[in-house]
Structure 1
Amino acid sequence: MARMHTRRRGSSGSDRPAADEPPEWSDVDASEIESRVVELAEQGHDPSQIGMKLRDEGVKGTPIPNVKLATDKKVGEILEENDASPEVPEDLRNLMERAIRLREHMQDNQQDAQNKRALQNTEAKVRRLVNYYRGDELPMDFRYTYRNAQELLE
C-alpha cells in the first residue's frame, strides 16, 4: 500500500500476536480494568495513552497486555458506556493540533516551502476526517477552519 501524499511505499511494522484469550499471568477482573480506564480518562488521557498505561503500569501492579481480550470491549467502547469519551476523536484532535502548529510556524516563516506543503497535506487529511465524523461525532454543520480548530481544542 502506498503512502497518501507521496509515491513511496509504506514501512512495514510488527503484528500483534494472534490470541483468543488473555494470558494466565494477567488475571485482573474486567470490572477493575474498566474502572481504571474511566479513571485514566478523567485524568485527561487519550484512549491510546490509556492502553499504553495499562500495558506498562497495569491495574494493581498487574499489566494488561490487551484490554479487548481481558474485557471483550475496546477502550473506546468502555469510555462511551461510562460517558467519558472525548468530544473530538483522538485521530482528528492530533491532526488538528499538528495543523495549528504548522500554521503558527508558517506565520513566522513564510518562505518555508516544505512546511507549507506539509500544512496543505495535513489540512487535507483533517477535512477528510471531518467528512467521515460529521453527523456521528461532530455536528452536521461543522467545517474545518483554523479558528474552529483553535476553539475546539481550547
Structure 2
Amino acid sequence: MARMHSRRRGSSGSDRPTAEEPPEWSEVDEEAIESRVVELAEEGYDPSQIGRKLRDEGVQGIPVPNVKLATGKKVTEILEENDATDDFPEDLRNLMERAIRLRDHMERNPGDAQNKRALQNTESKIRRLVDYYRGDRLDAEFTYEYDEAKELLE
C-alpha cells in the first residue's frame, strides 16, 4: 500500500511471531504488571513507552515481552480501568508536538519549503485524526488550532 503523502510504497517488515500465551521464562503476576503499568503512567510515560520499559526492564527483574499476553489486556485498557489515561490519545499528542516544533522552525526559517510541506502534511494528519476521535475521546466541538494546541500541550 502506498504512503499517505508520497507516491512510494513502504518497505516490508517482519511481523511479531503469533503466540497465544506468554513464554515460560516470563512468569510474572498479572497484578504486579498492572500496578507497574499504573506506576509508570503516573511518572509520565506514554503507553508505547510503558510497553517498551516493561519489555526491557521488566517487573521485579523479569522482562514482560507482551503485556496483552501476560494480562489479557492492552496497556491502554489497564490505564482506563485505573483512571490514568491522558486527555489526548498518544498519536494525536505526538503529531501536535511535531506540528508545534515545525511551526516554530518555520518562524525562524521562512524560506524552508520542505518543512513548510511537512507542516502542511502533519496538520492534515492531525485534522484527520481529530475527525476520527471526535465525540469518542475528544469533545464534539474540538477542532485543531495551533494556538490552542500549544496551550494544551504546555
Please say whether Structure 1 and Structure 2 have the same fold, judged by a TM-score greater than 0.5: yes
CA distance, structure 2, for counterparts of residue 86 and residue 10 of structure 1: 31
Q: Structure 2: which amino acid aligns with 1:135? A: G
What is the number of equivalent residue pairs in this alignment?
Answer: 154
Shift of 1:13: 1.7
Q: Which runs of 5+ in 1 are unaligned?
A: none
Find the residue that maps to 1:99 and give its secondary structure. Answer: helix
Shift of 1:151: 1.3
Any residues of structure 2 matched to 1:122-133 within 5 Å, and which? 122-133=122-133
Structure 1 match to 2:24: 24
Does residue 39 of the first structure (1) align with residue 39 of the second (2)? Answer: yes
Structure 2 match to 1:96: 96
Shift of 1:86: 1.1
Q: Structure 2: which amino acid aligns with 1:39? A: E
Find the residue that maps to 2:36 and give its secondary structure. Answer: helix
Does residue 9 of the first structure (1) align with residue 9 of the second (2)? Answer: yes
Q: Structure 2: which amino acid aligns with 1:47? A: P
Find the residue that maps to 2:39 and give its secondary structure. Answer: helix
Structure 2 match to 1:106: 106
CA distance, structure 2, for counterparts of residue 130 and residue 148 of structure 1: 14
Q: Structure 1: which amino acid aligns with 2:35? A: S
Does residue 51 of the first structure (1) align with residue 74 of the second (2)? Answer: no
Structure 2 match to 1:148: 148
Structure 2 match to 1:82: 82
CA distance, structure 2, for counterparts of residue 95 and residue 129 of structure 1: 9
Q: Which string of whole-angstrom CA distances, capped at 9 and with x for unpartnered residues, describes residues 16-67 of structure 1?
A: 1110000011000101100000000000000000000000000000000000
- When the two chains are superposed, the root-mean-square deviation of aligned CA atoms in Å is 0.6
User: Which 4+ runs in 1 deviate beyond 3 A?
Assistant: none
CA distance, structure 1, for counterparts of residue 132 and residue 23 of structure 2: 36
**Identical-pair percentage:** 77
35-44 or 140-149: bigger deviation? 140-149
CA distance, structure 2, for counterparts of residue 11 and residue 86 of structure 1: 32
Normalising to structure 1: TM-score of the pair?
0.99
Shift of 1:12: 1.6
Q: Which runs of 5+ in 2 are unaligned?
A: none
Find the residue that maps to 2:58 and give its secondary structure. Answer: coil
Q: Structure 2: which amino acid aligns with 1:91? A: D
